[in-house]
Chain A
């Protein structure tokens, strides 16, 4: 009888604890449900090619038609309603004379680079002991500088060109919000292909012919297209990113397909039976 009483007491205690836990969970649920609802009010921003490069904010271009759809899993752009949203004409490019005017458009990147307007005014403003004429480090190595290292980690050991080039090979010496060509003339950040093509000529040719890189819009050879420029896909400061060392940063993949009916996991997908 005493045993029974103890069991009853234990059961009651357990029951009350469970009730309390479930009540706490129930209380927490509405709070969790409310959070995504608040987040949904703000238009989602999805990244286009690689994370941290070009981003696009979802909006309606026509009633019921969004300019872009974002992946709920990875936040990547999954579908384009309007491929030309927010683009400007690319400008002149040798070898594209046959293309009708305005049919090659790009998304200006200089607006997206938040710190760029400050480069030429805040620090590299032509004022200071080394400014006129500009004196550059003789060893052509970037000096440790917390501001720059915050933006470009691993600055002192930059691995573009396997460590054989440094900042001023790409950035203009005096106009810091511009890139530089072989003649020392400035190049806009919106046309990085003019800079990259200096060394990667074969890739520039392929890019011009549509073999390398990404384009969206009309597929006909004279159709209107949005061209993705070099830096929208590649990070020039860290081109060898990723475990595969292949020039494109690693990404989180989208979810896998549904498993075949009756299968609980994908263990049936064996690798090659003979190890190699």
Chain B
């Protein structure tokens, strides 16, 4: 790292002798040491540089892990361009900082994509009962901000409650506009089956309700992600094993990706994250659930800290009805491969050609 190099300091007292040229003029009036503008700027520049570097060296070795990490982060590369040594350094720095900040031993994983793994997700749309346990499990696992003031609570999964529509004989001739006799097809303006409009804030006594269907939505981990296409700083990208990830340090918070995402999957933390020490999950991944800073975009990453080590994502594990399935698409024996082979599968907004690796199915 550049910050670790100890610069050749040019101490302030020795400035004239070392850093300025001797007088060239024979004129006694002019023989007094005289600095040109160039020399002055040069000296000043070196002085300020030395101060800066000295501070950097001090900061990286200071006891305040937070300050040291923050300083070093200003000079670090995009995660994809880091060498293994630089990744290890960034990891050690963050582990030190988070451990100090949250008062427990925090690990920051940097495990990369595993060979032969392409993660896929499947969700049984008929089984989902809309209990929102996945939403809260995700928050518990992924260190989202969980404050109570507006904008402080962030959830990556949304569960949409939708009305159930049906085809009816009596509506076959209904057209629009009424009375003009223009036939636009039976039921054309009433929902038949599922439409993507509904309620997120439903609070019934018990779920599932009689006339409702529930549709959980999170990041679809597209094969052609629109969010990656629009990112001006290339901080978000697709990993080789499937998930679309964000290098939070390079995110400038422009929210272009949020606008581009057709699945409303991205969130921005505009307030300082509220993450109580006792609720913080200490097992983190650099591209996954490590505590985010203010003003960066975040989203579901299929629990990289778990799935890179073979564990199911948190939402899969808590789903009480087993509607959520996760597996390796390259393994014909995996759950998701069997679902794709055997069940009726659809992808959300398939017409947008984003090719999600998140499949809804029903049986």
Residues of chain A at the chain B interface (Cβ within 8 Å): 48-50, 64, 69, 71, 74, 76-80, 83, 98, 206, 209-223, 228, 233, 242-244, 246, 248, 250-262, 266, 269, 271-272, 274, 276
Contact residues of B between 319 and 354, Cβ < 8 Å to A: 319-322, 325-328, 331, 333-335, 338-339, 342-343
Closest to A234 in B: B321
Name A215's contact: one of B150, B322, B339 (CB within 8 Å): B322
Contacts of B331 in A (CB 8 A): 220-221
The residue in chain B whose Cβ has the minimal distance to the Cβ of A207 is B322
Cβ–Cβ contact B189 & A274, under 8 A: yes
Given A48-B320, A248-B320, 5 extra CB contacts under 8 A: A209-B338, A251-B131, A254-B133, A259-B150, A276-B191
Assess the A271–B312 pair: CB atoms within 8 A: no
Interface residues of B (CB under 8 A from A): 104-105, 127, 129-133, 135-137, 140-141, 150-153, 155, 158, 163, 165-166, 171, 189-191, 195, 197-210, 282, 307, 310-312, 314, 316-322, 325-328, 331, 333-335, 338-339, 342-343, 363
Nearest neighbor of A202 in chain B, beta-carbon distance: B363
A48 and chain B: residue at smallest CB distance: B320
- A253 engages B153 (CB within 8 Å): no
Residues of B near A50 (CB, < 8 A) are 320
Choice from B136, B316, B327, B342 contacting A71 with Cβ under 8 Å: B136
Which residues of chain A have C-beta atoms less than 8 A from B189's C-beta? 274
Q: A252–B189 Cα gap in the complex (Å)?
A: 33
Among the listed B150, B190, B282, which residue makes an inter-chain contact with A261, where contact means beta carbons less than 8 Å apart?
B150
Q: Which residue of A lies closest to B135 (CB)?
A: A254
- Residue among B165, B318, B319, B343 with max Cβ neighbours from chain A (10 Å): B318
Which one of B140, B150, B210, B321 contacts A79 once the chains associate, using CB atoms below 8 Å? B140
Asked whether B200 lies within 8 Å of A219 as measured between CB atoms, the reply is no
Q: Is the CB of A251 within 8 A of B129?
A: yes
Do A233 and B343 contact each other (CB < 8 Å), given the known contacts A218-B311, A244-B209, A257-B153?
no
Q: Is the CB of A223 within 8 A of B317?
A: no
Looking at the complex, which one of A243, A244, A246, A254 makes contact with B132 (CB distance below 8 Å)? Answer: A254
A80 B320 Cβ-Cβ under 8 A:
no
**A-B contact count, CB below 8 Å?**
181
Distance (Å) between the CB of A125 and the closest chain B CB?
A: 37
* Listed A/B pairs (13) with beta-carbon separation below 8 Å: A71-B136, A74-B131, A78-B140, A79-B141, A217-B311, A219-B327, A244-B208, A248-B321, A252-B207, A266-B199, A269-B198, A274-B190, A276-B171
Residues of chain A lying within 8 A (CB to CB) of residue B319: 214
CA distance A259 to B318 in the complex (A): 24
Select from chain A the residue with minimum beta-carbon distance to B190: A276
In the assembled complex, which residues on chain A have CB atoms less than 8 Å from the CB atom of B198? 269, 271
A98 contacts across to B, CB distance below 8 A = 333
Known: A77-B318, A253-B204. A218 touches B343 (CB 8 A): no
Contacts of A218 in B (CB 8 A): 310-312
Question: Is A79 a contact partner of B333 (Cβ separation < 8 A)?
Answer: no
User: B150 — which chain A residues lie within 8 A by C-beta?
Assistant: 258-262
Q: Which residues of A contact B321 (CB under 8 A)?
A: 49, 214, 233, 248
Give min CB distance, A221 to chain B, whole Å. Answer: 4
B165 touches A276 (CB 8 A): yes
Contact B191 A255 (CB under 8 A): no
Shortest CB distance B124–A (Å):
8
Q: How far is the CA of A223 from the CA of B310 in the complex (A)?
A: 8
Asked if B207 and A253 make an inter-chain contact with CB atoms under 8 angstroms apart, the answer reads yes
Q: How far is the CB of A250 from chain B (nearest CB, A)?
A: 4
Asked if B314 and A79 sit within 8 Å, CB to CB, the answer is: yes
A211 touches B133 (CB 8 A): no
C-alpha spacing A79/B207, complex, angstroms: 20
**Contacts A76-B133, A211-B335, A266-B201 given: A272-B320 contact, CB under 8 Å?**
no
